Amino acid sequence: MVNLEWYRTFKAIYRCGTLTGAAESLFISQPGVSLHLSSLENYVGYKLFDRTGRKMIPTERGKILFNVVSQGLEILEEAENNFKRSTEKHTPTISIGMCFETFQITLEQYISSLPFNVIIRFGDYHEMLDNLDKGILDLIVTPQKGNMPNIEYQEFSSETIVLVGGKNTDDVSFDQLIKAKNYSEAEEWLNQQKWYGTTGDMEHLFRFWQLNFGHTPDFRPNYIVPNLNSIVRCLSSGTGLAVIPDFLCDKAIENGQVKMLWEGHNKLVNTLYFACRKKTSYAEELEMIKDLFKKEMG
């Protein structure tokens, strides 16, 4: 049996006259609309629309198919609406993408109190943006912006990438070199230290080094740990250095567990954005999530 979503998409294209309009009315991405249409055309064996610029003009066979299925779809939609009114309120499920450390610092403590279901996904920012555009995710927290027309960005905070050290790190000579603006010898001191890094992301270290010393570091970390929060915990028990976002170590610095060594003579600051689709059925739930992030990071 053919997928009924293909018919619903076909009807939306027929009524709206464009793929973009159909995507907005169905709250799905334009690539998803195109996929449904091509699948239906392959199934029935003929073209349903002629594409003229951005306009979708139904073919004669498309008109015939619309006349055949439109009444049946309306009956199904009416039955669905009646069913919704006669049952308990549906509990929405919100899918959110972010880095693991951001989740631990911000949203983790509030998960059990949220009045809706939540799915948290971690991954590469480009991959998460693609999943957001496809409707797999509803919201992502990202320092990077893409160029998908269906996605809007809202700036809400920033992070400064800083050099930190373990509480027992002897940084007196390094501090003197920095005050004297002797950056070449300061770099040599840094090269002689023990470093922490993570398995999946060395971008912070590379960008910090490039910005302050004009090239990428010529060493690799001595200790590779699962994530940035692991680095903070390791540093709090001894010596060593790492380059990480400031919001991940603010409390540890305040408590004396980790030392702030240097923000760099050229600060590396990332703007943080909420990214979501321009059309969503979960505006109220997403605003609740955004408020929690602003509370913790704003």
Tell me: pLDDT of 113 over 50. yes
Supply the pLDDT for residue 281. 87
Is 296 a residue whose pLDDT tops 60?
yes
pLDDT confidence of residue 184: 95
In the predicted model, what is the mean pLDDT of the chain?
A: 89
* pLDDT confidence of residue 49: 93
Give the residue, 264 or 90, on which the prediction is more confident: 264
The answer to whether residues 146 and 283 belong to one domain is: yes
pLDDT tens per residue across span 247-263: 889 889 999 999 999 99
The answer to whether the CB of 109 falls within 8 A of the CB of 283 is no
Are residues 286 and 256 both part of a single domain?
no
| pTM strictly above 0.85 | no
Residue 165's identity, in one-letter code, is: G
Q: What is the mean pLDDT of residues 198-213?
A: 87
pLDDT tens digits, residue range 36-92?
A: 999 999 989 999 999 887 799 999 999 999 988 888 888 887 777 666 554 445 788
Question: How many Å apart are CA 231 and CA 244, to the nearest integer?
Answer: 9
Name the least confident of 77-81, 154-158, 177-181: 77-81
Residues 208 and 255 in one domain: yes
What's the confidence (pLDDT) of residue 166?
Answer: 93
Assess whether 226 and 97 both reside in one domain. no
Q: Which pLDDT belongs to residue 298?
A: 66
Which residues constitute the domain of residue 209? 159-269
pLDDT score of 264 more than 90: yes
Same domain, 78 and 107: no
Boundary residue ending a domain (60, 85, 110): 85
pLDDT at 199: 73
CB proximity list for 183: less than 8 A, separation 6 or greater: 177, 212, 213, 265
The CA-based angle 164-166-172, given to 5 degrees, is 75
State whether 113 and 142 are in the same domain. Answer: yes
Specify the CATH number for the domain of residue 101. 3.40.190.10
